[in-house]
Amino acid sequence: MSDTGSSLLTIKLGHKILPGRVTVGAYDAKHSYLTAATHGERILLLPLKKPTGTPTGKTVEAHSDDLTFLNIDQPITCISAGQMQKNSDRSHLFVGTMSNVFGYDVENNKDLFFKEISDGVNTIVTGSLGGLESGSDNPIAVVGGNCTLQGFDAEGNDCLWTVTGDNVGAIAFLDFDGDGDNEMIVGSDDFDIRIFKGDQIIGETSETDAISAIAPMQGNVFSYALVNGTIGVYEKLQRLWRIKSKNHAVAICAFDFDGDGIPELVTGWSNGKLDIRNVRNGEVLFKDNFSNPLAGICTADLQLDGRLYLVCCDVEGEVRIYQPSSHDGRILYISPNVEQEAIRELSVKKHHLLLELRNYDSSNASLASTNTTSTSSSATSVLTNTSKKLLSLKGSSGKSETAEPQQKPIGAIPAKTQLHTAFSINMGSNDKPPHIEITLSTNNETVIRSVLIFAEGIFQGECHVVQPKANQLESKISVPLVPPKNVVVDLHIKVYVGYEESKHFHVFEMTRQLPRFAMFAVCKEGSKTNGSDLVCGYVKLPIQERPTRLCMWFNQNFLLAEELEHRTAFNLSFVSLRNSRDLIFNVGANGNITVKTNDMDLAGDVVQSICQFLNISDLETEADFPDEIAQLEMLLRGIEEYQESNERLGADISDQSGVIKSLLIRAEDARLISDIKGMRKWYMQLNEVNRALITQHQIRCSTNESVAESIKSINQIIQKAARLRVGRPKANVITASREAIRTKNIEALTRIIISGAS
């Protein structure tokens, strides 16, 4: 098989392509068209044909007659093609710009719908979706904007509206729970991946950076790419693998390259690399290099026979088409790798063994010099890079050799060495803000050379290394932790333990979990901080639950010095280490809880956490957050004002652009009849009007920006208000709020936030 491992055809478009804005659609139900956004606010269409009779790997220039262009006249933010009619194979094109989205019937040169979306469009996905009122058999287009998700059907009717935590970076449709209907996977800029069934969230997971792409693979497996260059694969909410690169993954796509029926993950990188990886383990199956950064990857059915081809474009307009290899192809192009891989693995093994051998030698030598006979103790001497697992909390290593401490063999440490870890809250000093401390200490004179903590979302780059100066080594070390979000964090800790002068160290590996609300310190009962009267926001949870269970929840989710005992009714107050604001719990004898805080987001976290712990699926709460409500009112009024002035500006601008057009015509007319004086006059006027127009445009841009900002804040407040409820009431809050915003009914909106219904 000579056709594997190289591209079938390379087409040079001769036009630049904007990264991430590439798709393939069968607009006439017969041919696949490569569709890509290009410069000049245009979309380029190229029918993709399988070359007949030409040898593989040929490079051709795209014929200019084949290329057609669509004028959009606004910066294109995303494009997508999808079938919108149930009984038709024809695709429609969806284009998102900074202020609107429209569906377009390319074949008939006709709009499907045109919708204004004032906060911009980040991504569009089409397909059928379950859990909607309109039923799951009608395909819809879902538009991800600034905190919002909007769904439109083929007529442009609204069929879905919901909010999410931040800017939507990526959307994918796949059958997550295996019920035959698709669910929506949404990745946003607050590092979260959420799974929506209709307008309800049925799953949530946190990543380490803003999500830039999500691609469905097969079944409930999906891949994702982050802004920081990470790509990975999830099966349901279980991450199978991930890798990080210093380049950015521009596009990810599922494609069955080796023809085994299981799709592989194709990734296009910003440095021009293309790789195809196994979904299960991330093993690279195929690599190719483009001379420019990739712009997009799609699959296309070139002959409409069901066989998919891989279409990759780079930003300079080079398109390569790859065909899937036939079934026996896999072994062929893997085989050279297998050999090399084996050799590499063996040489690494050899290297390690040699190092170990040298170690034994040096240990023996030192032992010989001190005239002791114990040879077995050298067996405990290990290299720093081999791991010896000692779970400090469980006790000693279990080894019973008698390595006497006074011998101090190089690298060896007492067998009973234990490592203690403890979390504590440090209220901070003048030069240090309050933080959580993890204290690591050994139980004897051994010292800690270095600590490596690996945790998602706490440190920049996920990993933190503490290595004290050689003359300040101690047997106790404290590492400050400041988790930015209220989530459970797993800390993977590696500690190098040894003696001050030793060159080899023992590695203790352990995993500790940081409770969800670790950043809250308990205040002593009775000694209320003077600020507690100022807490006017609250949420009441009418849950009929024994206080014992709630005590368990407190013990599990907070860093408490001593565990809470069972009580009937109690009050607890905490103070946040982040901003030293109060969080107060009043637990009634009947199990009703009142959470008092000014931070609506935090209250939402608490509600979600309690309900998750107590397995409550539906909960309606009563809440009041005067600060947020006041802010909401202000934002809504601001938007109304902005919109009014914006409309007026819009009219002014179109009026003036009309004037400019006629001035240009007059000037050109004067030029044609060689009336240079007249021409000069018209062009002078044109210049003035033009300058005024530019100024107005700048004003409009800045107001637009602030409107977008306000809309985002409003959506975030709604999202926070929704998080104060669980299950059905949560979704109700979102739908009711949307209605209230549409009718500009601020009172209703306030009522919704307080009582969950208008």
Partner 1 sequence: MMDPFYLAILRYRQRQFDECITLCTDVLRKNPLDQAAWSLKTRALTEQVRVDYLEIFEDGIAEAVFNEDTIATAARPGTSLRTGTARLSASRDGPSPAIRPVTQSGRPLSGVLRPGSSASARPGTSLDQALKARATTARPISASAGRHVRLGTASMVTSGEGPFINVSRLNMQKYATHDGLAKPLFEYLFYLENDTKHALELATLASKNCSPRDWWWQVQLALCWLRLGQPRNAEKHFRMALLIEPMLITYVGLAKVYVKMDQPLAAIEVCEKGLEKFPLDVSLLTEMARIQEGLQNMSISVKLYRDILSQDSSNIEAIACIGMHHFYTDQPEVALRFYRRLLQMGVYTAELFVNLGLCCFYSQQYDMTLNCFQRALQIAGNDCIADVWYNLGQIAMGLSDTTWASQCFRLAISSDNNHAEAYNNLGVLEARKGRNDQSVAFFQTSMTLAPHLFEPLYNQAKIADSIGDLQNSYLIVQRALENYPDHADSKQLFDKLKKYFETM
- Residues lying near partner 1 in the complex (CB under 8 A) are found at 42, 68-73, 100, 104, 106-111, 114, 116, 644, 647-648, 650-652, 654-655, 657-659, 661-662, 664-666, 668-669, 672
* CB-side neighbour CA atoms (13 Å) of 362: 15
d(CA 77, CA 119): 12
Q: Give every CB contact of residue 564 below 8 A, 6+ residues apart in sequence.
A: 551, 554, 555, 572
Shortest Å, Cβ 711 to partner 1: 18
Shortest Å, Cβ 752 to partner 1: 23
**What backbone torsions phi and psi does residue 381 show, to the nearest 5 degrees?**
-80, 120
Q: Which is nearer to partner 1, 30 or 728 (CB)?
A: 30
Q: Which is nearer to partner 1, 229 or 678 (CB)?
A: 678
Q: Three-state DSSP class for 532?
A: helix
Shortest Å, Cβ 655 to partner 1: 5
* CB-side neighbour CA atoms (13 Å) of 534: 8
Shortest Å, Cβ 68 to partner 1: 5
d(CA 716, CA 538): 18
Shortest Å, Cβ 639 to partner 1: 14
* CB-side neighbour CA atoms (13 Å) of 353: 6
| Cα dihedral 75→76→77→79 (10° resolution) | 180
C-alpha separations of 515 from 488, 496, 601 in Å? 5, 25, 18
Q: Which is nearer to partner 1, 157 or 326 (CB)?
A: 157
Question: Nearest CA to 393 among 262, 266, 512?
Answer: 512
Q: Which is nearer to partner 1, 68 or 579 (CB)?
A: 68
d(CA 21, CA 297): 10
Q: Residue 580 CA to chain centroid, in angstroms?
A: 29
Shortest Å, Cβ 433 to partner 1: 49
Q: Give every CB contact of residue 322 below 8 A, 6+ residues apart in sequence.
A: 7, 8, 257, 309, 310, 312
Q: Which is nearer to partner 1, 78 or 312 (CB)?
A: 78
Q: Which is nearer to partner 1, 427 or 676 (CB)?
A: 676
**Pair 447, 462: CB distance under 8 Å:** no
Q: Which is nearer to partner 1, 513 or 645 (CB)?
A: 645
Shortest Å, Cβ 125 to partner 1: 21
Annotate 61-119 with DSSP letters as a single string. Answer: EPPTTT-EEEE--S-EEEEEEEE-STT---EEEEEEESSEEEEEETTTTEEEEEEE-TT
Report the Cα–Cα distance between both ends of the chain, in Å, rounded.
Answer: 67
Q: Which is nearer to partner 1, 108 or 698 (CB)?
A: 108
Q: Which is nearer to partner 1, 204 or 652 (CB)?
A: 652
Which token pair is 346?
Answer: 């063996």
Q: Give every CB contact of residue 580 below 8 A, 6+ residues apart in sequence.
A: 434
Shortest Å, Cβ 10 to partner 1: 25
Question: Nearest CA to 603 among 710, 518, 486, 504?
Answer: 486
Shortest Å, Cβ 28 to partner 1: 8
Q: Which is nearer to partner 1, 97 or 713 (CB)?
A: 97
In 10 A of CB 45, how many CB atoms? 18
651-656, long-range: CB within 8 Å, 24+ apart, which pairs?
652/696, 653/693, 653/696, 653/697, 653/700, 656/689, 656/692, 656/693, 656/696
d(CA 20, CA 313): 10
Q: Which is nearer to partner 1, 474 or 647 (CB)?
A: 647
d(CA 633, CA 612): 32
Shortest Å, Cβ 41 to partner 1: 10
Shortest Å, Cβ 658 to partner 1: 6
Q: Specify the pairing of strand 593-596 against strand 100-105.
A: unpaired
Q: Which is nearer to partner 1, 119 or 620 (CB)?
A: 119
Shortest Å, Cβ 151 to partner 1: 19
